[in-house]
Structure 1
Amino acid sequence: MSSGHPQLSLSRRQFVASGVGAALAVGIGAAPAHARPRTFGSYGSPGHRLTPRTLYVDARGAGDHTTVQAAVSAAAGDGYILVLAPGVYRETVSVPATATGMTWIGAARDPRRTVVVYDNAAGTPKPDGSGTYGTTGSATVTLRPDGFTARGLTFANDWLRADHPEITGTQAVALKVMGDRSAFFDCRFLGHQDTLYADSPALATLARQYFRDCYVEGDVDFVFGRGTAVFDDCHFRTLTRTDLAGAPYGFVFAPSTAGANPRGFLVTRSRITSTAPAAYYKLARPWVPSSDTTARPMLVVRDTRMSSGIDAVAPYTNMSDAYPWQGQRFAEYRNSGAGAVVSVAANRPQLSPAEAAAHTPGIYLGDWRPAFRLRSGGG
């Protein structure tokens, strides 16, 4: 089934030409060159042009807008395409639910070169004195519409605990996505605690999200939420912490699967690496929030390679003893690497081949087949 997103071809000769400058980097946890997601080719040739619903963003003034939020605010209606020139866009961005079918594209070949970043944390005081931001309010980018697609971008939150010892609310979200049929290709998500929030707009609303060839890094619950999210051929990296003397440093996944999302997180054909000492990270812990005590967190990790940074003996733990992980839906299938060794069978539930057949991207995504297609030809 078609994703419903436009087939694209970038041109605007002057704009594309402006996107070949030196790379800009965000100053937190950059992945080594070998860990980068696969890049992609040129989005078209000079002389081709996009639809009238295309807006070009360039912080240096070569586009229609200099900030991403300005372009989002100018995009009245659905189906808009935002093309972001290389650069660091230090701002928070909120996309309303009415902007259905919106697409963001990094004009550079490398997602490292186009970065949307800010530095709010849950405990950061709001400028108007009305309190702190909270976890949701800390997000650098908040996406509410259905049918959103992004490719070739970095979403980051560079708030650091060491810089703010007075703040105890250390959750700092890079991206919160809530819409159904939201897809991300060749994107990077950088942060520490609560980096990527795969959520839904309401407990009773289905929200499916797809991540392909993406890179996510962090330390505490850095992939979390109640949505149905598929991570296909992605790279997760756990970071070293200087504020803790011993294990555990943190947790990769913290699903809080809601009733309207019968399936939670599926990780397939991916890898989990670490900069931390061996066994300093748990693979997951279930999150049953006070706002939804009926949640049944679900995580399946299959055909994935885990480094020694994951505690192979006891990879799961509790967020609350009232909701032990053994009562949730955690399972693995055909994983490999030092962090995937099954030494205590009771600590690592494994799927049979027949059970694994029910845990594939197609099953989780249902009638939606996410795709990103380019169109050739001008007009």
Structure 2
Amino acid sequence: MAQHRRRRTALAIAIPVALTAASAAAYGLLPGSQSRASAATAPAWATATADGFASVNALGQNGTYGGRDGKTVTVKTLADLEKYATASEPYVIVVAATITMDPVGKEIKVQSDKTIVGSGTSGQIVAGGFFLGEGVHNVIIRNLTIRDAYQGTWNDKEHDYDGIQMDGAHHVWIDHNDIRHMADGLIDSRKDTTYLTVSWNRLSQENKAFGIGWTDNVTSDITIHHNWIRETEQRNPSTDNVAHAHLYNNYLEDDPGTDITSSYGNYSRGKTNMLLENSYFQGVNNPVIRDSTATLVQKGNVFSGTSGRNESGGSGAAWDPRSYYPYTLDKAADVPALLKSGAGPRTSIGTTATTTSAAATTLTVAQDGSGQYKTVQAAVDAVPVNNPSRVVISVKPGTYREVVKIPANKPHVTIQGAGSSRKDTVIVYNNAAGTKKPDGSTYGTPGSATVSVQSDDSQLRNLTVTNDFDEATHQDIANQAVALLTQADRIFLDGVIVNGDQDTLEMETAAADKLGRVYIANSYITGNVDFIFGRATAVVDKSVITLKKRWDGTSAGYVTAPSTAADRKGILINRSTVNGDVSAASFYLGRSWHPGGSTTVDPQTTVRNSTLSAAIRSTPWSDMGGFSWKDDRFAEYKNTGAGSGAASGDRPQLTDAQAADQEVADWLGDWTPSAS
């Protein structure tokens, strides 16, 4: 029997290279508070309207616009979500937290004229979903993650727990959601539900993805476009007795690396009249099938590695969607990349800067005197203490040989290179742990950092931070030499290079009992010994980790050295590449650091969905300081490359269920990193 997979693809989060400038806060409202969401003041997502059949004027409803004419409320509890979703008046309901259904499988009975929208990627519904009953109309469900009602039985006939179920509803828009790992199906459109548009969703890790029908009437009109459907077995979708089913620019993927195998792809059943355009089918069995009584017209689809039935034909009347609504087709060949980057929850939906926030202040730094300051530290010093809004320090191209420290009382600081490349702006210094200060004491490891970030909500972007301490010349002193130190929460490193040898990137927290989250994306980190280390909760995502030889030309080292608290997440390396010009089988992925011999820490490193070069040892984890790595938390999941390997006692691999709880969203919690 196929095993149930619970992998969150992309951040879930899959945060793109150029993040949308949006606050991680919700709409500036406390739970239960209200404000009028008028078109003049509300953000675009609060007044968005559906496309496709959901936009058609019919049944007394003019298109689908949800709760835009009502008040906006932000909810973080099940009680508040149910209160507003079941109310008779219109609401825009912003879900700004993870809400767990109680009991498991609960489906909130949504009433008409509602927009339910996740705040960035923080809106999650766990162990249940939504139900839209007979006559419910004008409902928008957007930008949510709906997940994990699975009860342990594949093809579950006993637990009818869906992500979204509609029985006789009309004018519904389901858009930009991530729906996965439910008990029965992800979406069910039943009993003459019509004027439905389902767009830009990720549907995955399920036996039944999307079922449509359960009626003898042939009246439903449905548009399904730009959805990424993967790791699902059937109903992808299955459309039964649908008068007009328009499917276009969808991506159906059967991943050969999982235990789930597709039975079929798009299915036209009963008297359905389906138009299927410019979709992409990857590795799917029986990608397109139809009943003898159904009609199915194909145009411009791409099939790669598919097998089995691929059908079209039928006696139904030809129809043109443009006689109902306008639409634009993307090229089928572009669909996989388009949906991998664009489907699912967006950081720009459901979030907005609060009305009281001041605009960001920009300070400029240039060595030649053309800026406001000649050094980066001088600009940092100019930031007012307890600054309430973001200050961007724009640093013109050049090499700045200085030590930079952003103190804890100056939050919301961004240091950003102004050049076209991250290599154009370089901050560099050469202190090591054993380097003496003017008073004769030594700097110690944290004190050796070229750049120290001690303030919450700060960022480094588009620049290089280097510690160029010369180990070969100074073997007489302790040679830990930090390039970048973080000691705060919600630190975002985007498009940076962090260069060093031993202890390149140290990520800590402000205190042992404080949370310190760091998100690193689209970046390069170089080093050789313990060069990604510390007790912070840190994600290295979509980045390159480059291994360097030691000062004497030998190849040996450790990528990570976590010292994670027992109740925290440690270091997650995700969708990244580990390589370098070093000897084969010479580097460990990590070792367990217990500072000062502490027995209370529980170090954690997870390396998943990454490419490992031959430099990685076949036994990739190591003991440290008398502590066995096997007593701590070290694991891999679905890595590839010459340095990857099969599961063994010396190379633990996460199960699919374990991997579902070790993804970017699990590390970042209620924080959605965004450029600002």
Q: Normalising by structure 1, what TM-score?
A: 0.81
CA contact (8 A) 1:183 1:370 kept: yes
The 5 A counterparts of 1:196-207 are 196-207=505-516
Indicate the residue corresponding to 1:28 in structure 2: none
Indicate the residue corresponding to 2:400 in structure 1: 89
Q: Distance in 1 between matches of 2:578 and 2:637?
A: 15
Indicate the residue corresponding to 2:614 in structure 1: 308
Indicate the residue corresponding to 1:325 in structure 2: 629
**Shift in Å at residue 161 of structure 1?**
0.8
CA contact (8 A) 1:221 1:252 kept: yes
**Shift in Å at residue 372 of structure 1?**
1.2
Q: Distance in 2 between matches of 1:52 and 1:325?
A: 45
Q: Distance in 1 between matches of 2:458 and 2:475?
A: 36
Q: Deviations over 1:351-376 (max 9, x none)?
A: 11111000111111001010115xxx
Indicate the residue corresponding to 1:351 in structure 2: 654
Q: Given residue 564 of structure 2, which amino acid in structure 1 is its aligned partner?
A: T
Q: Deviations over 1:319-358 (max 9, x none)?
A: 112x20000000110001111123x711111011111000
**Shift in Å at residue 53 of structure 1?**
2.4
Q: Distance in 1 between matches of 2:359 and 2:662?
A: 38
**Shift in Å at residue 51 of structure 1?**
5.2
Q: Tell me the SS of whatever aligns to 2:666.
A: helix
**Shift in Å at residue 241 of structure 1?**
2.5
The 5 A counterparts of 1:269-308 are 269-290=575-596, 292-308=598-614
Q: Tell me the SS of whatever aligns to 1:108.
A: coil
Q: Distance in 1 between matches of 2:383 and 2:23?
A: 23
Indicate the residue corresponding to 1:337 in structure 2: 641
Larger relative contact order (Cα-Cα within 8 Å, sequence gap ≥ 6) = 1
Q: Tell me the SS of whatever aligns to 1:362.
A: helix
The structure-2 alpha-carbon separation of the partners of 1:99 and 1:291, relative to structure 1 and needing over 3 Å to count, comes to farther
CA RMSD of aligned residues (A): 1.7
User: After the TM superposition, which of the residue ranges 76-85 and 212-221 deviates more from structure 2?
Assistant: 76-85
**Shift in Å at residue 160 of structure 1?**
1.7
Tell whether 2:370 aligns with 1:62. Answer: yes
Indicate the residue corresponding to 1:47 in structure 2: none
CA contact (8 A) 2:534 2:564 kept: yes
Q: Distance in 2 between matches of 1:65 and 1:291?
A: 45
The structure-2 alpha-carbon separation of the partners of 1:291 and 1:315, relative to structure 1 and needing over 3 Å to count, comes to closer
Q: Given residue 257 of structure 1, which amino acid in structure 2 is its aligned partner?
A: T
Q: Tell me the SS of whatever aligns to 1:111.
A: coil
Indicate the residue corresponding to 2:454 in structure 1: 144
Q: Distance in 2 between matches of 1:275 and 1:341?
A: 20
The structure-2 alpha-carbon separation of the partners of 1:306 and 1:284, relative to structure 1 and needing over 3 Å to count, comes to same
Q: Deviations over 1:14-51 (max 9, x none)?
A: xxxxxxxxxxxxxxxxxxxxxxxxxxxxxxxxxxxx95
Correspondence for 2:423 among 94, 107, 112? 112
Q: Deviations over 1:130-186 (max 9, x none)?
A: x1111011000111100001210111100021121322x110000000110100110
Correspondence for 2:663 among 345, 352, 360? 360
CA contact (8 A) 2:501 2:550 kept: no
| Amino-acid identity (%) | 42
Q: Normalising by structure 2, what TM-score?
A: 0.46
CA contact (8 A) 2:413 2:457 kept: yes
Q: Distance in 1 between matches of 2:456 and 2:438?
A: 31
The 5 A counterparts of 1:116-135 are 116-129=427-440, 131-135=441-445
Q: Distance in 2 between matches of 1:87 and 1:51?
A: 27
Q: Tell me the SS of whatever aligns to 1:156.
A: strand
Q: Given residue 652 of structure 2, which amino acid in structure 1 is its aligned partner?
A: P
Q: Distance in 2 between matches of 1:258 and 1:189?
A: 25
Q: Deviations over 1:222-261 (max 9, x none)?
A: 000000001110100111225265x6x11000010124x6
Q: Distance in 2 between matches of 1:315 and 1:53?
A: 46
Q: Given residue 506 of structure 2, which amino acid in structure 1 is its aligned partner?
A: Y
Q: Tell me the SS of whatever aligns to 2:431.
A: coil
Tell whether 2:557 aligns with 1:250. Answer: yes
Q: Deviations over 1:262-300 (max 9, x none)?
A: 101111100100211101111100111017431110111
Q: Distance in 2 between matches of 1:364 and 1:52?
A: 28
CA contact (8 A) 1:298 1:330 kept: yes
Indicate the residue corresponding to 2:527 in structure 1: 218
Q: Distance in 2 between matches of 1:291 and 1:123?
A: 21
**Shift in Å at residue 92 of structure 1?**
0.4
Unpaired segments of 5 or more residues in structure 1?
A: 5-49, 374-379
CA contact (8 A) 2:597 2:625 kept: no
Name which one, 1 or 2, has greater alpha-carbon Rg. Answer: 2
The structure-2 alpha-carbon separation of the partners of 1:192 and 1:64, relative to structure 1 and needing over 3 Å to count, comes to same
Q: Distance in 2 between matches of 1:324 and 1:159?
A: 31
CA contact (8 A) 2:366 2:373 kept: yes
Q: Deviations over 1:38-74 (max 9, x none)?
A: xxxxxxxxxxxx9572110011111010001111001
The 5 A counterparts of 1:172-187 are 172-187=481-496
Indicate the residue corresponding to 1:16 in structure 2: none
Q: Deviations over 1:95-121 (max 9, x none)?
A: 111111111111012010101110000
Q: Deviations over 1:178-219 (max 9, x none)?
A: 110100110010000000001101100001110000100001
